[in-house]
Amino acid sequence: MASTFTCLDYHVVFSTKYRKPWIHEEFCEELYQYLGGIIRAEQGCLREIGGMPDHLHLLVGIPPTIAVSDAIRILKASSSKWVNERSDRVAKFQWQIGYAAFTVSVSQRESVCQYIRNQQTHHRQRSFKEEFIELLERHQIEYDPKYAFEQEHVG
């Protein structure tokens, strides 16, 4: 019997490249299921997932054998490959370069799940940018606004 016991839950947030509204309703459930499969393949647990056409929120349990950055890299790389291999894609799908991840205690798990489930309601009142900055500030994460949101360069 192992003598190591962990409960490592993270609220993970990332957007599509340049916050393009690429997560269409007709395939978001499939995308959510695919992401859950990736997490399970890494011995993790998808506790909740939700989002908007331009970003996702996940509450994931990650095993201590994998770094959070590695788990998110695997999630993003595998899922973008899957989306781009779909026959209904017209533009190349990409996730943003970075992400945000916040630890979540068991006592806060249900409130984070509710927050993730209620994304449609939250975004009637504020943009993803406002939400993202609020999350960073609530978790006392220092950031430089010029790096928080990748800008598309045209021309």
So where are the chain's domains? 9-148
More confident position, 89 or 22: 22
pLDDT of residue 49: 98
Sign of CA dihedral 43, 107, 143, 126: positive
Nearest-10 Cα torsion for 102, 65, 62, 22: 80
Count of C-beta atoms within a 10 Å radius of residue 150: 14
pLDDT of residue 86: 87
Q: According to the CATH classification, is domain 9-148 in 3.30.70.1290?
A: yes
User: Which of 108, 115, 106 has its CA nearest to residue 48?
Assistant: 115
Average pLDDT over residues 134-140: 95
Q: Are 99 and 141 in contact (CB under 8 A)?
A: no
> Given pLDDT bands bounded at 50, 70 and 90, which one contains residue 148?
confident
pTM: 0.91
Q: Phi/psi of residue 65, each to 5°? A: -85, -5
Average pLDDT over residues 58-87: 95
Structural tokens at position 89:
């894609």
- Rounded to whole angstroms, the maximal C-alpha distance in the chain is 60
